A = this chain, B = another copy of it.
Amino acid sequence: MGSTCVRIAIDAMGGDHAPGEIVAGALRAKEELGVKVLLVGDPQQIEAALPPKTNLEQVEIVPAEEAIAMDEEPLNAVRRKRKASINVAMDLVKHQKADAVFSAGHSGAAMASALLRLGRLPGIDRPAIGTVFPTIIAGKPVLILDVGANVDCRPKFLEQFAVMGSIYSQYVLGTPEPKIGLLNIGEEDTKGNEVALRAHQLLRENSQITFTGNAEGRDVLSGQFDVIVCDGFVGNVLLKFAEAVGEVILQILREELPQGLHGQIGTAILKPNLKRVKQRMDHAEHGGALLLGVDGVCFIGHGSSQAPSIFNAIRMAKESVDNQVLQRLRSQYEILQQESS
């Protein structure tokens, strides 16, 4: 295609607000980040979602006949609907017509499609879903993985997550020497279930990463860790709890602050400051989740994603490509192979 700018394949049919918000986020990313966007899906619906005077330079519509619904069983759906938008988008990456893929659709389907079409990176048993949480320190996020791909993890999977997370944190999130933590129920080395105990040992012995020990639930948002690894069961519970707790607290603020006349006056005065509070708590500001361990740059967004989240996820995808995350993950494996041979 001769393009030197980063090309992002976007599943325009995935998500609760598809294609409208997806297209809007993609167009903003094209304008502000200079990426080329490949909008994959039903051309008619995508065209209808484009604002009338859209500059179509750097925008390509790639037709896909089908889409996978949120309630479909992912592996079956991905196999049966070969021309589904998520599959077509993955194929663009596979055939080097795109550098990264983004979908806010069925995340299980995105995972299955990535595995089937792109395969795993060498040395990785199981890909993980990583997501970035804000911490108490402004501008210092923490990457948590896995947040849902693998409900039962062997210790070595957690070790692989740590190595991948470390590279991502360093080259995309810009952490000079990422501090890696193992999510656990106590600080002491002897704490935890069997998987955690063994994983602790593997992480301690791994020279590719800076392992700083166990991270308890209270440490997740402390900013002391740059990457925290856990199995997909606890990670998923934590992610969904964290997303909800922000909402719960905003709700409590909305209920309690405006009470009484002084409450109404005070709340009105504080409006801009409260907006900043909301922003700092907002998970969407930090982009989507990423699939680490498949042989391609894949980002997935919340089903409820709107244009700003889409934009942020595309930004992260571009930065992953710019910073050669995939190449670095591959070469990390080669170094390991050489060391062990």
Q: Which of A135, A184, A237 has the most C-beta atoms of chain B within 10 angstroms of its own C-beta?
A: A237
Given contacts A244-B222, A249-B281, A193 and B273 within 8 Å (CB-CB): no
Tell me which residues from 126 to 181 in chain A have a Cβ below 8 Å from any Cβ of chain B: 135-136, 148, 151-152
Given contacts A220-B244, A270-B267, A253 and B237 within 8 Å (CB-CB): no
Tell me which residues from 211 to 227 in chain A have a Cβ below 8 Å from any Cβ of chain B: 216-222
**What is the minimal beta-carbon distance from A254 to any residue of chain B, in angstroms?**
10
Pick from A79-87, A97-105, A255-263 the stretch touching chain B: A255-263
B240 and A237 contact, CB distance less than 8 A: no
How far is B100's CA from A256's CA once the two chains are assembled, in angstroms? 37
How far is B244's CA from A135's CA once the two chains are assembled, in angstroms? 11
Counting chain A residues whose Cβ lies within 8 A of the other chain, the interface size class is: 35 or more
Copies in the complex: 2
User: Chain B residues near A277 (CB, 8 Å)?
Assistant: 252-253, 256-257
**What is the minimal beta-carbon distance from A29 to any residue of chain B, in angstroms?**
28
B237 and A257 contact, CB distance less than 8 A: no
User: Chain B residues near A267 (CB, 8 Å)?
Assistant: 266, 270
Whether A242 sits at the interface, judged by CB under 8 Å, is yes
A269 and B265 contact, CB distance less than 8 A: yes
Whether A53 sits at the interface, judged by CB under 8 Å, is no
User: Chain B residues near A196 (CB, 8 Å)?
Assistant: 151, 233
User: Chain B residues near A95 (CB, 8 Å)?
Assistant: none
B236 and A220 contact, CB distance less than 8 A: no
Whether A192 sits at the interface, judged by CB under 8 Å, is yes
User: Chain B residues near A249 (CB, 8 Å)?
Assistant: 246, 249, 281
B233 and A259 contact, CB distance less than 8 A: no
Q: Contact flags (1/0) for A56-72 with B, using CB distance below 8 Å?
A: 00000000000000000
A218 and B240 contact, CB distance less than 8 A: yes
Q: Which of A194, A240, A281 has the most C-beta atoms of chain B within 10 angstroms of its own C-beta?
A: A240
User: Chain B residues near A336 (CB, 8 Å)?
Assistant: none
Given contacts A193-B233, A267-B266, A267-B270, A238 and B256 within 8 Å (CB-CB): no
How far is B170's CA from A260's CA once the two chains are assembled, in angstroms? 35
How far is B238's CA from A230's CA once the two chains are assembled, in angstroms? 13
Tell me the A residues contacting B by CB distance below 8 Å: 135-136, 148, 151-152, 183-185, 192-194, 196, 216-222, 230, 232-234, 236-246, 248-249, 251-253, 256-260, 262-263, 265-270, 272-274, 276-277, 280-281
3 tightest Cβ-Cβ pairs between the two chains A and B? A217-B240, A266-B269, A217-B241
**What 20 new A-B contacts, CB under 8 Å, besides A185-B232, A185-B236, A259-B276?**
A135-B248, A192-B233, A217-B239, A218-B240, A220-B244, A221-B241, A221-B244, A221-B248, A237-B238, A238-B241, A245-B245, A249-B249, A256-B273, A257-B273, A259-B273, A262-B270, A263-B270, A267-B270, A269-B269, A270-B270
